[in-house]
Structure 1
Amino acid sequence: MSPSAVASLRLQLSLVQPVLRSATARMWHSGPGLPDRYRRYLRAMHQVIRASVPLMERAAARCEALPRDPVTGPLARYLRSHAEEERGHDDWLLADAAATGTAPGELTDTVPPAHVAALAGAQYYWIEHSHPVALLGYIAVLEGNAPAPGLASRLARETGLPQAAFETVRLHADLDDGHSADLDLLIERLPLDAAQRSLVAVSALHTVASLAELFDRITAAPTEWESTDE
């Protein structure tokens, strides 16, 4: 018997998760640069998270435009519902940044670097030119790597920034485990064919690699963060 879609996806992710865990640990290591690293993190995650609801809404619309099949109906319903759960989370990041003394325009008016566009932009390509089920791989990685419990408190203590600057980290540590469980149930129930299972896995593996690169760039000196990709 072949492994379930969820078991297969989680197995593939387990092989690359150490790369992402290492990048995350480097980003959050203690030291004098941590406050600035956290501010860069807020800016980068705002650039990523503000794409979440539009991505889900576009994927749902594509499902509804495709010929009806056993996947598109339940997938569209999940995406519409989850988009409402995620709506406004980019505003949380703006509020956190404001608590650090960062003006909102430093997040909203900055041109996102190419590596941020590649992280979310690949999903638009797969949604439009392959199948919107690809987005499940992206969601699986983002919600399967929620901030660790206690991270917000440690960051507040070690950076000296106000507790109000860490609300998004705190809330996602609480919320994303439940969201990840809901996603696993959906993937398990969807009658994915071999090509669709492969697409979800490719999307997830791309997301791991891109997110690890993003975290490493946040860890790097600001001059590297600001540099363009070549």
Structure 2
Amino acid sequence: MSVDLQPILDLVTPTLRRSAAALWQPDGLRERYGRYLSEMHAVIKASVPLMELAFTRCTGRDPVSVRLRQYLPAHIEEELGHDDWLLDDMRVAGLDPEAELLRAPSVQVVRLVGPQYYWINHGHPVALLGYMAVLEGNSPSPGLAGLLAHRTGLPDKAFDTLRHHADADPGHSDDIFAVLAELELSAAQRAAVRASALHTAAALIDLFDHLTLEARSELRV
């Protein structure tokens, strides 16, 4: 039986959208966008390693592992280098990428990404599709890059990664949901995908809220 993930995600999408909208409010946005780039770099640099790990853990001959081994290589290829794009955006935004790379990832980033390593290593790699469905399924809107350029006064090139994901992620999301619809998952596998997706949504909300509250605290100082 496949996992019908969309109705579950529909329950948390309004909260996720509210958190994203608060993140992009004008007050303090220029500095907040810089922190967003740094945090998202910490998230995105894990994307390819997570998929590569999932690929290596698909060692069985069960249909789910076989299908994942067919799907993951193309998506790995699509995601290669995206963390470097964020470094370029940082540079255009006036940040020092080398200094940002020395920052320890926030607790919020670790909470978002870290459980995937556990589920892949100690459960079934199919759990990663829940994580991917949330991240790809909540791509930036097509007009967001232009809006942020206007609100921050930063060059358009500082928003290249946002602009790319606004264009590409909807198609990637469709691919993930198509794969999920194909898979005949066990009850445990369905539960793992759902848990991964719901955890990812909650952790992403936590990350956005952290960035927003952090910026508000700085404005009050």
Indicate whether the TM-score tops 0.5.
yes
Show the 5 A alignment for 1:176-195: 176-195=169-188
Alignment of 1:171 onto 2:150: no
SS in 2 for 1:71: helix
The structure, 1 or 2, with the larger RCO (C-alpha pairs under 8 Å, 6+ apart) is 2
Conserved 8 A contact 1:60-1:77: no
Unaligned 5+ segments in structure 2 are none
After superposing the two structures, state which structure 1 stretch, 103-112 or 146-155, moved more: 103-112
> 1:56 pairs with 51, 60, 64, which one?
51
| C-alpha deviation, 1:199, in angstroms | 0.7
The structural deviation recorded for 1:224 is: 6.7
The alignment's TM-score, normalised by the length of structure 1, stands at: 0.91
**Aligned amino acid, residue 16 of structure 2:** L
Aligned twin of 1:35: 30
* 1:63-110 per-position Cα deviation (integer Å, ceiling 9, x unaligned): 03xx21010011122112211100100001000000011111232111
TM-score by length of 2: 0.95
Equivalent-residue separation in structure 1 for 2:99 and 2:166 (angstroms): 25
Unaligned 5+ runs, structure 1: 226-230
Deviation (angstroms), 1:221: 2.5
Q: CA shift at 1:149, angstroms?
A: 1.1
Asked if structure 1 preserves the Cα contact closer than 8 Å seen for 2:39 and 2:106, the reply is: no
Match of 1:221 among 209, 214, 217: 214
Q: Please say which of residues 165-174 and 184-193 is displaced more in the overlay.
A: 184-193
> Which segments of structure 1 move beyond 2 Å, counting only runs of 4 or more?
221-225
Question: Number of residue pairs matched?
Answer: 218
- Please tell me the root mean square deviation across aligned C-alpha atoms, in Å: 1.5
Q: Are 2:18 and 1:22 equivalent residues in the alignment?
A: yes
Write the letter of the residue equivalent to 1:13: L
Instruction: Indicate the percent of aligned positions where both proteins have the same amino acid.
Output: 54
Q: Distance in 1 between matches of 2:199 and 2:24?
A: 22
